[in-house]
């Protein structure tokens, strides 16, 4: 399955035009339309939430690994 993400603006008549799609004529495609804000708001939830890094280069959860000789 090939995925192509495009941004477009709905015109005053409620139409949406997508040009230059990377598919061949006759290909069947699935179209999902959602507002741009809905797509970006999920990724923006954590943006700017890190106040400081404590030991950013130290191993994480090293005590949770068992090494068998």
Residue 15 predicted with pLDDT over 90: yes
CA atoms in the 13 A half-sphere facing the CB of 26: 0
- What percentage of the chain has pLDDT greater than the value 90? 26
- Per-residue pLDDT reduced to its tens digit, 32-56: 988 876 555 555 567 777 778 888 8
H helical segments located in 1-69:
36-44
pLDDT at 69: 61
């Amino acid at each position: 399955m090939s995925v192509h993400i495009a941004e477009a603006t709905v015109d005053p008549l409620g139409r949406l035009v997508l040009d230059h799609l990377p598919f061949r004529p006759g290909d069947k495609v699935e179209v999902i339309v959602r507002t741009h804000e809905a797509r970006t708001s999920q990724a923006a939830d954590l943006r700017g939430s890190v106040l400081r890094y404590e030991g950013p280069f130290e191993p994480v959860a090293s005590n949770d690994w068992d090494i068998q000789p």
